[in-house]
Amino acid sequence: MSSFIVKKERLSSYLKRLADKFEVHVPVSKEGMSLFAPYQENLELDFGSHPRLSAKSFFLPQREVMLQYGTTGEKLQQEQAAAHFQQLLFGVKPCDARAIEINARLLADNCSQTTAQDVYFKTRLNTTIMVGYGCDQPGAACFCSSTGGGAFNTTGLDALITDLGDELLVRLFEDRPNSQKLVDRDLMEEATGEVLAAAAAIAENAEKKMSGMPELVKPESGDSELFQLELWEETAQRCINCGICTYLCPTCTCFDIIDEGSGECTTQSRCWDSCMFGLFTLHASGHNPRPGRKERLRQRFMHKLSYFPDRYDGIVGCVGCGRCVMYCPVNIDIREISRLMAEVGG
């Protein structure tokens, strides 16, 4: 592993040179929220805040055209929507990067039971460079270390930054070939052992802030027992099925496919969908396997905490980013649900 120092006064020059080669996105504050925006000079960067939307949008955009069709006479022409420029996300939170790896298990894994891979997601996975920003100030609702991650977890990242005050330590991960594209010898210097020790102390301190929280793990009880808990009915009385948890969740990847246009030019697009919505599962016949709030709410938590780990080596479908906890209008808390699910039979 190679580690470099970038002095903060050189950061804008460094980013500018990266932006010559890549489509660089950086976190900025806008209308009271932190968001990723395309890099421009003189942007005020906001590495500290937690972005409202996770990095999911860069791999599975909220809406994307998948295929374009023209029908001329009896011929059908189809074109796959063009591949985009190589993306570089600079300042991604480790939880959000780890979520992309989790999403890849479903959408881009060769070993899954279906051999189909999502070509759009997979292309972005191969071409996107992610530079993480170690969370030295975990948020009030953060619990990444309870889900198998951590404030300085490196899963899914090509490099990780530690903020040392006047300078940034950039650790490059050599098992990720794209990491070498981040080296800029004119603006970086090799990090000394002293600097590395200081960075390790910062990381350790951040982890400490989140210690003592209960682990989010797959409950020991079987699905059929969990499925029948009173918990779902009780919690559903509060839930309004607004879907904000699924939109903000970095590991929620359900989507809808829609056809638009008419005549000679039509497109097939997809957009995020949500298991919180009744239409999600409604059959044409009128039958709905998940007809009410209870069934839909249960689906979300059972999927995250039981079905997903069952299929994918015990990994829970939650990275502890805390967004659903922060923004749920009725204060439904996945940590609490997880605790109640774990208590069953115990």
Site of interaction with other proteins (CB under 8 A): 66-67, 69, 71, 74-76, 78, 80, 106-107, 112-114, 116-119, 122-123, 223-224, 227, 253-263, 266, 268, 273, 275, 280-285, 287, 289-290, 295, 299, 302-303, 306-308, 310-311
Contact by Cβ (8 Å): 216, 320: yes
The least CB distance from residue 321 to other proteins, in Å, is 19
- Residue ranges in 131-285 assigned as alpha helix (H): 193-209, 223-227, 230-236, 244-248
Nearer to other proteins, 162 or 269 (CB): 269
In this structure, the chain runs to a length of 346
- Residue ranges in 33-115 assigned as alpha helix (H): 94-107
The least CB distance from residue 75 to other proteins, in Å, is 7
Q: How far is 167 from 199, CA to CA, in rounded Å?
A: 11
Nearer to other proteins, 204 or 264 (CB): 264
Nearer to other proteins, 93 or 290 (CB): 290
Q: How far is 249 from 151, CA to CA, in rounded Å?
A: 17
Q: How far is 15 from 33, CA to CA, in rounded Å?
A: 22
Q: How far is 250 from 245, CA to CA, in rounded Å?
A: 10
Burial category of 312 from C-beta neighbours within 10 Å (exposed 0-12, middle 13-18, buried 19 and up): middle
The least CB distance from residue 279 to other proteins, in Å, is 9
The least CB distance from residue 257 to other proteins, in Å, is 5
Nearer to other proteins, 211 or 285 (CB): 285
Contact by Cβ (8 Å): 91, 141: no
Looking from the CA of 214 toward its CB, the CA atoms found within 13 Å total: 14
Nearer to other proteins, 240 or 258 (CB): 258
Nearer to other proteins, 101 or 295 (CB): 295
Among the listed residues 101, 219, 205, the one whose alpha carbon sits nearest the alpha carbon of residue 149: 101
Contact by Cβ (8 Å): 235, 241: no
The least CB distance from residue 238 to other proteins, in Å, is 21
The least CB distance from residue 261 to other proteins, in Å, is 5
The least CB distance from residue 56 to other proteins, in Å, is 14
Nearer to other proteins, 160 or 319 (CB): 319
